[in-house]
Amino acid sequence: MQAQLERIEPQPAVAPGAAEPAPAHGGPIETDALIIGAGPVGLFQVFELGLLEIKAHVIDSLGYPGGQPIELYPDKPIYDIPAIPVCTGQELTEALLRQIEPFGATFHLGQTVTSLRERADGRFFVETSAGTHFVARTIFIAAGVGAFEPRTLKIDGLAAFEGRELFHRVRNPADFAGRNLVIVGGGDSALDWTLAFAGEGPHRAQSVILVHRRDEFRAAPASVARMRALCEREEMQFMVGQVTGYEERGGHLVAAKVSGGDGVTRIVPLDALLVFFGLSPRLGPIAEWNLQIERKQLVVDTEKFSTTVPGIFAVGDINTYPGKKKLILSGFHECALAAFAAAAIVFPDKGRIHLQYTTTSPKLHKVLGVDTPVFA
């Protein structure tokens, strides 16, 4: 039976912010430590290295620091950070960035590592997708479960509209205010942005149509209830179906073809198509660096959190060892031991690096830029 076409007219009817990426550097950059990944564990690695007077450069595929907590749940509560009863991914990231301010780390955002090789002098040559080159004494892989790539609609030719009318992330909610939006997905991100754009507020869209393949969601029940209430008040629309095609005009995406379970394909005009199918983690080139890998994770020892290549460490969710638990607090512990191991490489003539405490060490106070307290 030939599919029917029906044109849907939108009805009149957005959220987290992000840091700007650092400008690209020209020429090779020599550094004592290069951290791959700017999530919570990568940021805390900057801190632990900084206490040992090791400056770091940080690379991340995202255009802003924060990693998975910022990308997937910036406004969701986190309850298991020591001494912090509750915080959001955004708040945790902001706190870590404040904590590492004294150490002047340089961020190279919106780029991935494309090659890594060991030099004859024992240092590592690293190149990124932006053409940035590094020569590093030590490498810290804090890439979570790998570089995040959005899951996309598998429709031929649709990718050509990426960044113009097709979006998988919302960088600036103001860009979508007053526009006709079609949002695709059934998880928290899809529902959160639907509510942000359809509800009252400075980023309210002209119209919002949510499309999901079934009338059940993987999002918080409260968000689903709010979405249904907006539909009842005719402040937005919800369609059960799948985007199976599109219409373009003058090189611009102007409509989505939504096929419903009733056999009808409806033409839905739009100014922007926002697709939230989640993110797919990929090891990418890490798998080609001659490191021991077990179930897509890097095997490390638990003394130094070193990989099978001396000088390359792995901390956080990217690593595996007996008893490993994928917790942020576990990653923080790993950072401390990895930093001490790296100090022996960066400062080979210093001998044993002694543990000092930030409560009592004048040296650490100087590094942190704070005054040493005087007790009467």
CATH number of the CATH domain containing 113: 3.50.50.60
- Residue recorded with tokens 């060892």: 321
Residue 126 placed within a domain: yes
Classified as helix, coil or strand, 354 is: coil
> Does one domain contain both 41 and 81?
yes
**Which candidate, 29, 16, 195, places its Cα nearest to that of 88?**
16
Are residues 135 and 180 both part of a single domain? no
Alpha-carbon gap, residue 294 to 334, rounded angstroms: 18
For the segment 237-267, what is each residue's pLDDT rounded down to a tens digit?
999 999 999 999 999 999 999 999 888 999 9
Alpha-carbon separation of residue 181 from 1, 11, 174, 224, 259 (angstroms): 30, 10, 13, 18, 17
Q: Outline where the chain has alpha helix (H).
A: 40-51, 67-72, 89-99, 188-198, 221-232, 328-346, 362-368
> Would residue 376 count as lying in a domain?
no
**pTM of this structure:** 0.71
* 160-194: pLDDT as tens digits: 999 999 999 887 899 999 999 999 999 988 999 99
pLDDT digits (tens, 9 = 90+) for 91-125: 999 999 999 999 999 999 989 899 999 999 999 99
Residue 21 has pLDDT above 60, yes or no: no
Tokens of 321: 């060892």
Asked if residue 367 has pLDDT above 90, the reply is yes
Which residue, 232, 256, 277, sits at the end of a domain? 277
| Under 8 Å between Cβ of 290 and 299 | no
Q: Is 270 found in the same domain as 295?
A: no
The answer to whether residues 256 and 325 belong to one domain is no
Domain assignment of residue 158, given as a range? 152-277
Residues 269 and 291 in one domain: no
> Minimal CA–CA distance to 77: which of 95, 91, 97?
91
Looking at the predicted structure, is the pLDDT value of residue 14 above 60?
A: no
Are 133 and 125 spatial neighbours (Cβ–Cβ below 8 Å)? yes
**Given pLDDT bands bounded at 50, 70 and 90, which one contains residue 155?**
very high
- Are 142 and 284 members of one domain? yes
Percent of the chain with pLDDT over 90: 73
Question: Encoding tokens for residue 102?
Answer: 């004294």
> 74 and 38: one domain?
yes
Both 284 and 143 in one domain: the answer is: yes
- Give the separation between CA 328 and CA 40, rounded to whole angstroms: 7
Which one of 277, 306, 339 terminates a domain? 277
Q: Is the pLDDT of residue 210 over 90?
A: yes
Asked if the structure places residue 14 within a domain, the reply is no
- 163 in the same domain as 198: yes
Residue 15 falls inside a structural domain: no
Same domain, 79 and 158: no
- Count of structural domains within the chain: 2
Lowest mean pLDDT among 227-236, 277-286, 356-365: 277-286
Q: What is residue 148's predicted lDDT score, i.e. its pLDDT? A: 65
Alpha helices in 141-291 (DSSP H): 188-198, 221-232
More confident residue, 133 or 278: 133
Burial of 333: CB neighbours in 10 Å, binned 0-12, 13-18, 19+: middle
pLDDT(13) > 50 = no
pLDDT at residue 74 is higher than 60: yes
Regarding whether 110 and 257 lie in a shared domain, the answer is no
Looking at residue 296, the DSSP 8-state letter turns out to be T
Q: At what angle do helices 221-232 and 188-198 cross, to 10 degrees?
A: 40
Q: Is residue 13 part of a domain?
A: no
If you ran DSSP here, which 8-state letter would residue 19 be given?
A: P
The predicted model gives 280-285 an average pLDDT of 73
- The 10 Å Cβ neighbour count of residue 332 is 21
Is residue 80 situated within a structural domain? Answer: yes
Please say whether the dihedral angle defined by the alpha carbons of residues 214, 216, 220 and 223, taken in this order, is positive or negative: positive
What pLDDT is attached to residue 176?
A: 97
| Boundary (domain end) residue, out of 251, 277, 303 | 277
Q: Are residues 144 and 291 located together in one domain of the fold?
A: yes
Residue found by looking up tokens 């990693």 in the block: 67
